[in-house]
Amino acid sequence: MHANLQTAVRGRVWKFGDSIETDAINPYYRYPTMEELKLHTMEAYRPEFPKEVKPGDILVAGRNFGCGSSRPGLVLREVGIVAIIAESVARLFLRNSIARAIPIFMAPGITGIVEDGQLLEVDYPNRIVRSPASGASVELRAFPPLIEEIFAAGGLPEYAFQRYTREVRGS
């Protein structure tokens, strides 16, 4: 599964604070396989998360999400998170997420409109995130067209292969 930016999603919120570190998102130094990582992701911040997260859930975070080392967040997709919405995202984590088509978005003000466990609607085509409970919404920051193409392809390796194939056939 990869990010489909053309479809709105709705899911239950897992709300986290600021500066969520990659060591907690992807603690591969202790758990080297994906199956083990799925049992331990985010437990440093919320011990119940790996046991209770469900496919279709949405992760909401404050500023500087994914700070720390260069660890990807694939495990979040593997446990079923359909979107990550943060006030801001650490540069390297954002780049890694885009490269693997992990649906990650910046929406300043997001932590003020939704609470843990509530439903949230993420509508990238209309650049808005809405809380059905309160009716409040915030704007999603748009990606440049090239980034949208990378998401549509399923990630950077897939995009590069598709582009290469088009160019070879076109010459």
Domain membership of residue 94 as a residue range: 9-143
| Residue 137 domain flag | yes
| Residue 171 domain flag | no
| Residue 37 domain flag | yes
Number of structural domains (the chain) is: 1
Rounded distance, CA 129 to CA 137, Å? 5
| Residue 51 domain flag | yes
| Residue 159 domain flag | no
| Residue 121 domain flag | yes
Instruction: Determine if the pTM surpasses 0.85.
Output: yes
CATH number of the domain residue 62 falls in: 3.20.19.10
Cα 21 to chain center, whole Å? 14
- Tens of pLDDT, residue by residue, the chain (171 residues): 346 688 899 999 999 999 999 999 988 778 889 999 999 999 999 999 999 999 999 999 999 999 998 888 889 999 999 999 999 999 999 999 999 999 999 999 999 999 999 999 999 999 999 999 999 999 999 999 999 999 999 999 999 999 999 888 875
